[in-house]
Amino acid sequence: MISFIAGIVVILIIGIVMMPRMGRFFFVQDKSKLKFDETIEKIREACENDDKWEVIQEKNYNIAHQKKVQGELPFRLFEFKLGNPSHAYMVNKQFPPICTFMPAAIAVVEYKNEDVIIYRKNTGLLGRMFTGNIKNIMTNEVPQQLNKILQDVIN
């Protein structure tokens, strides 16, 4: 009994220590082989040429923050909001609350060292919490299709 309680305590301590670091698992990150502006143009072009995904919104956070007099970010940040009407319909039809995770987003960040990193939601991780068609779309189709959009950009 004592070893069982000790095991639970160890698991709780590990959980408390690791919790702040676990947020990174919710994102997929790739290094771009292109410069910041070129990366944005290639992603935009790939979306325009894709018959499944469409750009719903683009946002340059640096300009947005400057307009609202928030100051300058220590990096360049641009975001694409992407939608796939077919996936959205299938998933929303089965479980409407999932719309809170839509649309898909791709963030492009250029850090001071000029590294350009692309971030997106880890839909594969989230998809594992569902079954059936939702699981398939989120764990397979969305990541594969976003990889295809980014294929000319990431290393």
The CATH number of the domain holding residue 129 is 3.30.310.70
Phi, psi for residue 55 in degrees, rounded to 5 = -80, 120
Which residue type, as a one-letter code, is found at position 21?
R
Q: How confident is the model at residue 32 (pLDDT cuts 50, 70, 90)?
A: very high
- Does residue 134 form part of some domain? yes
Work out how many domains the chain is built from and give that number.
1
Residue 46: name the closest of 35, 56, 59, 55 by CA: 55
91 occurs within a structural domain: yes
Residues 6+ apart with CB under 8 A from 94: 132, 133, 134
Q: Residue 59 is part of which domain span?
A: 26-150
114-126 per-position pLDDT tens digit: 899 999 999 999 9
Neighbours of 145 (CB within 10 A): 18
Task: Report pLDDT for 18.
Answer: 65
pLDDT at 15 over 70: no
Its pTM stands at: 0.84
CB burial class (10 A; 0-12, 13-18, 19+) of residue 105? middle
Half-sphere exposure in the Cβ direction for 70 (13 Å, CA): 10
65 located within any domain: yes
Is 10 within a domain? no
